[in-house]
Structure 1
Amino acid sequence: MNLGVDKMKGRPQIVLDIAGVLLSNMSLTCWKDMSEETNLSAESLKVHFAGIKRKLWTGMMREEEFWQSLKEMYPELSISRAKDILYHSIVPLPAAQYLERWSESADIHLLSNHCKEWIEPNLSRLSSFTKSITISNQVGLCKPEIEIYQRVETFLVAGEEVLFIDDQEKNLHSAKLLGWETLLADKEGDWVNEVESLLI
């Protein structure tokens, strides 16, 4: 995981993914909890979500339309209960507590493929330490499309080193094309130590 670079100089620009990096990803457990009181399988709910995720992430499908699509396909599913389960499944990961310290020596920017409504309850704390937040369903673009990285680039301080952190390898390539350093966020959270060594 070592980046092969020394401690970052100047005022580094740190661009972090949100889901899987700062907040938990929606897991199969989330879909299992939704299906508990119905005859549905968690896998069928997960497959349904996977089929429309890109539309949701790019804003082509509004959040309320997502819930409507679930209700139409699975009438027995309680949407209010499903919403509660989903919102409560998205919680801060340990790395989120480092943002305040990192923001003292770097500018923090967030870039996420997500539905803003789902992560909004956690955004107020995260935004306290960030210079910009770009969420895919708000801008009509999603990773790994290079255009969304270029949009984030307009918020970065020119000439400073940039480090992009994401939990999916496929999302790192576009950042590399822009000359950014990249770091894959491992599930164990060891990547946090790497950032610490680069900044502190």
Structure 2
Amino acid sequence: MKKNYRLAFNVAFCGIVTALAVVFMFLSIIPSFAYVVPAFSGIVIWTVTQHMNVKWAYLCYGASCLISLMLIPEPEANLFFVFFFGYYPTLCILLEKIKNKILRFLVKLVIFNAAVVLAYNLLVILFPVEDALEGLEIFGDLAIYAFWGFGNIAFVIYEFALITLKDAYIKLIKPKVAAKLK
């Protein structure tokens, strides 16, 4: 009986988290939220690892991706959620096993850059964008490198914010949620 209860709880909790992630993804229709919302949705999915395990978190990620791709009208936000922001906070748990901090950070940077290249190329193939680098004309031929550099700076900021938010969740929110779940 206890096993059935736990399975039912896990399914219900993951359903709620998946729905919450998709609801947040709907906010990506606001132009300035196109990058923020996928990042926040990934953090919401990460909370599953704190109450269950990585397997359940990736199930939430998969369900959130499928539902978002079907319902969310913003392709750029969807692709960045699918290719990076959705799974990255959970993947960090596995990457923490790399003891060398510099090597761990370099692996994270490679994952980010590979995800950005894949998402950008798919975005350009599926939705040809003539003005992808609009606003970066002042950099001339170096615009793509400037864009890439800004992206890597944003990743470093995101990484520090992610660590801070995870620590805050574990210290402040997780004990309250765990108490309610017992």
- Quick check: which one's strand share is greater? 1
Specify if TM > 0.5: no
User: Which TM-score band (shorter chain)?
Assistant: under 0.3
| TM-score, length basis structure 2 | 0.28
